[in-house]
């Protein structure tokens, strides 16, 4: 067992290429195709970073060699810090642009392993799977949401009974599943895909086949990935972000796929599937998503500052106020991670779970903050976002003098100024930038139900109600009346 480096990651991707479709084209070399090679190279860089950094590796007690800290089961405050520093190193390295670097789903698997008994008969399978992924340092993605065909009806009443993913039959070797899942980000780059339903399953015999959770290799027979339009493939100057960080979203089609029993974690069990949130994996994924958001906000603030300095709009109070709004979100995010770590509590086996409350607060705000941050970029950089020549060839063309003259800043040459604004434009007005806004709005689920569930239904109201009830007790006592409003005398 050894944590992988970039070359090992790319080698495996080449020999285990998933069935990947971009339009009518079947891509057979994810690492080499121009639509997907940029992000594959970035992921390889993350593995190189991990393999060269002692602080990103640890020696598991139940294994030989070194594993990535993303798989560390934290028992101490130092362990938790190691984990979040690891997340930050990866997020900084990708400028917060790769939400589904594998440390997201591996954080989930850490929680599953810590609370494996939740899975009942599947508990030992989950434990064995965690060890398998850790020891082979595999890249995980996940596919939860159902395809948006008819949102008003449950799985069994979709136009075809296997529109939503479900069990067709059981065999001695495992379950045969068919149907689709929408938008598994980074699935084309992953070794394995974790699958379960995001939305609650209705109780009823006909809905049972859809109450499942399992893991499957991305290249398993019958698994097909259908990509959205790629944003990568451009050159690094004109498309500085999308050429490198297009982590790709894909619909996953399961065409009579055999899932071996050892990878079936929940089989047609409403109780477990509907209560999977109780494992509290958000306590771990929430650290990854907050730390990754921190890096992204810092990067956006940095580019906004540079771009406004270049044309001297940073002198204006409304621009400073807008930049200050972004740094406010940065500090709230940073504080939430620290609070989550400070409030961590051990489970019965001594595994420390960060306090999920501040992490939920960030998740339930950042789906509004990030669209606002992108709006700020558009407001303060305005037409400057489109004030670039179409591509780098203009520098070596008959209009080169115009470029040098009109595209400079007072203290900045035209090459530097255009480079800065190309980055800003890739965030603020490109298709890649639009996808990032959508990602931040929805990656954790529907923001409406997310907030209702975590900030209202599951929220511990003891303290807020304690305060109001304390005051009410005093004011009712001051009324001079008996409880229920009977009795003599009113407040003097």
Ligand X SMILES: Cc1cc2nc3c(=O)[nH]c(=O)nc-3n(C[C@H](O)[C@H](O)[C@H](O)COP(=O)(O)OP(=O)(O)OC[C@H]3O[C@@H](n4cnc5c(N)ncnc54)[C@H](O)[C@@H]3O)c2cc1C
Binding residues for FAD: 142-144, 185
Question: Please, which of residues 172-191 interact with ligand X by CB under 6 A?
Answer: 183-185
Give the shortest CB-104-to-ligand X separation in angstroms: 8
Smallest distance from ligand X to CB 212, Å: 14
CA dihedral 145, 443, 235, 42 (to 10 degrees): -90
Count of residues that interact with ligand X, criterion CB under 6 A: 20
Contact flag: residue 150 with ligand X (CB under 6 A): no
- Please tell me the distance from the alpha carbon of residue 443 to that of residue 431, in angstroms, as a whole number: 17
Out of 137, 207, 246, 249, the only residue in the binding site for ligand X (CB under 6 A) is 249
Single out the residue of 415, 438, 452, 476 in contact with ligand X (rule: CB under 6 A). 438
User: What's the closest the beta carbon of residue 163 comes to ligand X, in angstroms?
Assistant: 13
Q: Could you tell me how many residues make up the chain? A: 492
At its nearest, how many Å lie between ligand X and the CB of residue 279? 16
Reading the block at residue 353, the tokens are: 């779970």
CB of 214 to ligand X, least distance (A): 14
Answer for which of 151, 483, 485, 488 binds ligand X (CB under 6 A) is 151
178 membership: H or E segment, kind and range = strand 174-185
The reply on whether position 145 binds ligand X by CB under 6 A is: yes
- The interface region with ligand X, picked from 88-96, 138-146, 404-412, 417-425 by CB under 6 A, is 138-146
Find the part of the chain contacting ligand X (CB under 6 A) among 211-219, 235-243, 410-418, 433-441.
Answer: 433-441
- For residue 214, the surrounding DSSP H or E stretch is strand 212-217
* Nearest-approach distance from CB 151 to ligand X, in angstroms: 5
| The one among 255, 445, 453, 476 contacting ligand X by CB under 6 A | 445
Burial class (CB in 10 A: 0-12, 13-18, 19+), 39: buried
Alpha helices by DSSP H, listed for 213-281, are 242-245, 270-274
Q: How far is the CB of 185 from ligand X (least distance, A)?
A: 3
Whether the CB-CB separation of 330 and 301 falls below 8 Å is answered with yes
Say whether residue 439 binds ligand X (CB under 6 A): yes
Residue 292 lies near ligand X (rule: CB under 6 A): no
* 101, burial (CB in 10 Å: exposed 0-12, middle 13-18, buried 19+): buried
Q: Does 143 bind ligand X (CB under 6 A)?
A: yes
> Applying CB under 6 A, which part among 37-45, 83-91, 143-151, 317-325 lies near ligand X?
143-151
Interaction between residue 227 and ligand X (CB under 6 A): no
Q: In the numeric block, which tokens belong to residue 22? A: 């971009």
Which residues, listed in sequence order, are joined to residue 203 by a DSSP beta bridge?
none
Residues 325-355: b if buried by 16+ CB within 10 A, e if exposed: ebeebbebbbebbebbbeebeeeeeebbbbb
142 binds ligand X (CB under 6 A): yes
Strand ranges inside 17-65, DSSP E: 19-22, 25-27, 57-58
- For 285, what's the count of Cα atoms within 13 Å in the CB-facing half-sphere? 22
Residues binding ligand X (CB under 6 A): 100, 142-145, 148, 151, 183-185, 198, 249, 435, 438-439, 442-443, 445-446, 448
């Amino acid at each position: 067992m050894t944590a992988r480096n970039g070359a090992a990651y790319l080698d495996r991707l080449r020999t285990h290429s998933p069935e990947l479709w971009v339009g009518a084209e079947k891509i057979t070399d994810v690492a080499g195709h121009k639509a997907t090679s940029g992000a594959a190279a970035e992921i390889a860089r993350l593995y190189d970073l991990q393999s060269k950094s002692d602080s990103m590796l640890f020696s598991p007690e139940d294994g030989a060699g070194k594993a990535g800290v993303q798989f560390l089961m934290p028992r101490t405050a130092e362990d938790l810090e190691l984990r979040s520093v690891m997340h930050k190193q990866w997020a900084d390295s990708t400028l917060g642009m790769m939400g589904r670097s594998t440390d997201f789903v591996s954080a989930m698997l850490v929680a599953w392993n810590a609370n494996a008994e939740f899975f009942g008969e599947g508990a030992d399978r989950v434990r064995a799977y965690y060890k398998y992924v850790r020891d082979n340092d595999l890249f995980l993605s996940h596919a939860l949401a159902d395809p948006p065909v008819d949102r008003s009806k449950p799985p069994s009443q979709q136009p075809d009974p296997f529109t939503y993913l479900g069990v067709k039959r059981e065999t001695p070797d495992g379950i045969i599943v068919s149907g689709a899942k929408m938008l598994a980000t980074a699935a084309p780059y992953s070794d394995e895909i974790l699958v379960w339903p995001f939305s609650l399953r209705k109780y009823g015999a006909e809905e049972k086949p859809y109450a499942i959770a399992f893991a499957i290799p991305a290249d398993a027979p019958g698994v097909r990935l259908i990509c959205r339009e790629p944003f990568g493939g451009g050159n690094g100057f004109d498309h500085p972000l999308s050429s490198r960080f297009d982590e790709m979203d894909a619909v996953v089609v399961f065409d009579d796929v055999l899932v071996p029993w050892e990878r079936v974690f929940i089989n047609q069990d409403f109780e477990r599937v509907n209560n999977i949130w109780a494992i509290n994996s958000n306590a771990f994924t929430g650290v990854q998503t907050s730390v990754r958001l921190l890096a992204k906000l810092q990067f956006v603030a940095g580019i906004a500052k540079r771009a406004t300095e270049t044309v001297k709009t940073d002198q204006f109070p409304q621009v400073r106020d807008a930049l200050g709004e972004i740094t406010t979100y940065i500090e709230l995010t940073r504080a939430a991670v620290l609070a989550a770590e400070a409030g961590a509590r051990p489970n019965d086996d001594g595994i420390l779970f960060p306090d999920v409350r501040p992490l939920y607060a960030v998740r339930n705000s950042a789906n509004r903050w990030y669209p606002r941050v992108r709006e700020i970029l558009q407001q303060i950089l305005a037409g400057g976002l489109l004030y670039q020549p179409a591509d780098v060839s203009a520098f070596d063309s008959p209009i080169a003098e115009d470029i040098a003259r009109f595209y400079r800043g007072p203290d900045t040459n035209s090459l530097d100024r255009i480079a800065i604004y190309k980055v800003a434009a890739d965030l603020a007005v490109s298709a890649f930038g639009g996808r990032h806004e959508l990602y931040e709005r929805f990656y954790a689920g529907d923001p409406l139900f997310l907030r209702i569930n975590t900030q209202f239904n599951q929220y511990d109201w003891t303290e807020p109600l304690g305060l109001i009830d304390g005051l009410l007790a005093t004011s009712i006592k001051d009324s001079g009346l008996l409880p229920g409003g009977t009795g003599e005398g009113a407040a003097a």
